Structure 1
């Protein structure tokens, strides 16, 4: 039970911006893993795609185990800096150092490269967990206002998308220019060391800004922590996880996200191969696509307040996700069908179409993820009503577990599919057979979208709307006043 009656607290623009800015650290790490890591170990170091994906999947399994641990520990932490802030700050340097070592192994055998990949992927992901879970949980604590939660998580999603949209083209331009020797340019092994230092610096800066920009809220957050909260133990952790899954809305979002995340992991394996070998783009051409993403992000930030006021969260999530699936698939399907008027790979017209597609995806993406995180935050309120204490860390840790556990399966599946279609290692532009490129596009587009659509059906089970959330907060206020 809270120490006093709650009142709705309005966050400043600076606080919300600082909270969101921290997401750049995760975006940088995700871009490093999704765009560069498998390509580096498979195409540069010569490790099989299946072996690489299995090593990454094992790392995700270890990471998934640490998520509930980080969530429960931060739920129960009591320090002068609050529950979440110490975890957020202390994760910065270990995250940057282990990311550098991951991309700079000594000369090893293929098996030893797999071990190195597995070990340092575990260390990077563990460091990120002890930032990411407390950071998400902090968001649920900062405000209990139904609409402002969506706005605050929109800032988080905006900066995450902005970080990814800028980090990749800056990486291409500064460290991976196309040359006669390296085309695609990501084959240049020597560039990965300075690039990894660049990535680590961004991660540290983003986390420090988040910490400093939100620490003024610590006294208020400490005052809202329950006086008598259960101590941490393994048995208590499993009991708290079981209690979370008894919530119907939580199950709906949890399992819907699992299916969507599985698809995103498979597509993440294929994305760098798609850019170079399906769309026929150089790294220089690919740097223009994020320009569309940047415009889309601005449009999204303008739309989110209107969407939040006009629509409830469940229809916003389902509608935006459905439009994203259509947008991603249209150019892929047209290319697969060999439509006569559709532009050729590598052409300027095709690049323009990909920029527009990125704009639409970037407009819808922040709406989707801000809505999802806001829904999870609302579930923490309903869960507090059910169990009598705040458990944001456990709620968001189980959410992260869903993402990582299914990502591990998606990574394995994606790697197996790359080997199944016999994608050549170290392939230069134009050397991949047409039938292999076609299979690449079919898997990355329509084949995996069937699974995503199933996830949208599961979201229909979510049942907290604006009126239900008002009832929850009224009951919590009534308890706090007793």
Structure 2
């Protein structure tokens, strides 16, 4: 990275593009397990639904341990590549291989298959932490401008939309409903992850660096600093609610397509309806965040997400076209939520750096990424529990079953009402968030007015 003697207000197009490429890793790894792993285990490997939900969640819970550690390691790293970029390579050495192994393991069924997938997922999640935690800390250190952070992340979110489309449309096409299809999909996307991670490492070689000095505190002290940061805690809470709602919807999408719409292939068009707004509305959300401030724009995005969820409840009566329209509404809200929460995270890191004078962004992003991954995976656990309560019967392609009406009801309730309630909680938390452009500007003028957390 390129050191800066003065804080730049803009980031070059080349660096924006190089940074954005990394989103192919982040978005694919976050989306694919949430979308396909639960279905893969219950409908291909015959793993019981509740056990499959737990398997999806437990490796992500490991992030609560590893991610803050990776954050502190990157905060303390000194190298000619900067503090963050070496870790991008470390992640590339682990994640792609073990992601592939999640889907190309030995021919196991039932509980044994669930255990094997869980172990591979645990190691893959560790590799993802090595990459993702430093990666998310970088925007706060590339520019000191409040609105430039949103513009920088606009590029990233376009790549996120494309990656989600790959995960939601291409991956299910490759996987089909067969074991061989899932194995092929695992290999293809492992290569995509590797290319994205290496590309982001080289693409950010000339990124400006405006970060602070290394933090001298222990991990325990830095975690305490994060816990005493009111803006960070509120942002973490509202983001976790939004991510949990999205995680429940992702896990439920294949079941919604198969059992509510009656055609498993419609999950591809549903995903197109979800990500289409992300490709075309990013400039609109950037404009709204400047016009209304990020918090108000975030509330608007959350309302759209919740409304779309609730509209989808009418799908059994109104049909497939209506379902796709409802998902488009969800997509408009999802686009805003994805862009704004990461821009606000960069603001929180910059705020903490201005207050403390130290580089602690890695710990903040470590905690953030751990919570994000855990709650998204917990979304699959919630959906798996809803299916189990509804009496869903697990199976494999050679032994199809007819689901009871209670299971079909659970499929749609889990996809609609539950995410809507969680999203409304996130909206309430967004109202309480108070790190605005005016507050950051005032801090820049009177830095002595704020005090760092005490040891």
1:327-366 matched pairs, under 5 angstroms: 327-330=308-311, 332-335=312-315, 338=317, 342-343=318-319, 350=320, 352-366=321-335
> Are 2:263 and 1:263 equivalent residues in the alignment?
no
Q: Displacement of 1:210 after TM fit?
A: 1.5
Question: Following the alignment from structure 1 to structure 2, what is the Cα–Cα distance between the partners of residues 324 and 22?
Answer: 26
Is it true that 1:85 corresponds to 2:71 in the alignment?
no
* Kept after mapping to 2: 8 A contact 1:300/1:362: no
Residues 109/153 of structure 1: CA separation in 2 closer, same or farther (3 Å cut): same
Within the candidate set 367, 372, 376, 2:341 is matched to 372
Partner residue, 2:414? 443
Give, in whole Å, the separation in 2 of the partners of 1:477 and 1:280: 62
Counterparts in 2 of 1:131 and 1:37: CA distance versus 1, 3 Å:
same
Tell me, in whole angstroms, the C-alpha distance in 2 between the residues paired with 1:153 and 1:24: 14
Instruction: Map 1:59-458 onto structure 2 (within 5 A).
Output: 59-108=59-108, 110-173=110-173, 175-176=174-175, 185-186=176-177, 188-217=178-207, 220-221=208-209, 224-226=211-213, 229-230=215-216, 236-283=218-265, 285-293=266-274, 295-330=276-311, 332-335=312-315, 338=317, 342-343=318-319, 350=320, 352-426=321-395, 431-458=402-429
C-alpha contact 2:289 2:296 (8 A) present in aligned 1: no
| 1:100 positional shift | 0.9
* Change in CA separation of 1:438 and 1:261 when aligned onto 2, cut-off 3 Å: same
Aligned residues: 446
Deviations 1:101-148 (A, max 9, x none): 111221336332232122111111110111111110011111121111
* Shift of residue 189, structure 1, vs aligned partner: 1.0
Deviation at 1:229, TM superposition (A): 3.7
For 1:208 and 1:473, locate their aligned partners in 2 and report how far apart those are by CA, in whole Å: 36
User: Is the 8 Å Cα contact of residues 305 and 420 (structure 2) preserved in structure 1?
Assistant: no
- How far the C-alpha of 1:99 sits from its partner, in A, is 0.7
- Give distance in 2, aligned partners of 1:434 and 1:110: 24
Q: Distance in 2 between matches of 1:383 and 1:324?
A: 30
CA contact (8 A) 1:101 1:120 kept: yes
Q: 1:449 to 1:361 in 2, by over 3 A?
A: closer
Q: Which runs of structure 2 are paired with 1:1-20 in the superposition (5 Å)?
A: 6-20=6-20
List runs of 5+ in structure 1 lacking aligned partners. 177-184, 344-349
- 1:92 is paired with a residue whose SS is helix
Distance 2:88 2:18 in 1: 13
Q: Is the 8 A contact 1:75 1:392 kept in 2?
A: yes
> Does the Cα contact within 8 Å between 2:158 and 2:278 map onto a contact in 1?
yes
How far the C-alpha of 1:316 sits from its partner, in A, is: 0.7
How far apart in 2 are the matches of 1:368 and 1:203? 24
- Superposed displacement of residue 83, structure 1: 0.7
Counterpart of 2:453 in structure 1 is none
Deviations 1:208-260 (A, max 9, x none): 2212221112xx42x7441x6416xxxx1121111112122222112223333
**Which moves more between the two structures, 70-79 or 270-279?**
270-279
- The whole-number CA distance in structure 1 between the counterparts of 2:256 and 2:396 is 13
Shift of 1:160: 1.2
Q: Give CA-to-partner distance per residue, 1:121-178, whole Å, 9 cap, x none.
A: 11111101111111100111111211110111222222112111133322344x24xx
Write the deviation string for residues 249-275 of structure 1: whole angstroms up to 9, x where unpaired: 222112223333333333333221111
Between structure 1 and structure 2, the one with the greater Rg is 1
Instruction: Name the CA distance, whole Å, in 2 between partners of 1:72 and 1:9.
Output: 27
User: What's the RMSD between the two structures over aligned residues?
Assistant: 2.5
Whole-angstrom distance in 2 between the partners of 1:400 and 1:309: 26
Q: 1:154 to 1:366 in 2, by over 3 A?
A: farther
Provide the C-alpha distance between the structure 1 equivalents of 2:355 and 2:228, rounded to a whole number of angstroms: 10
What residue ranges of structure 2 are gaps of 5+ in the alignment? Answer: 451-455
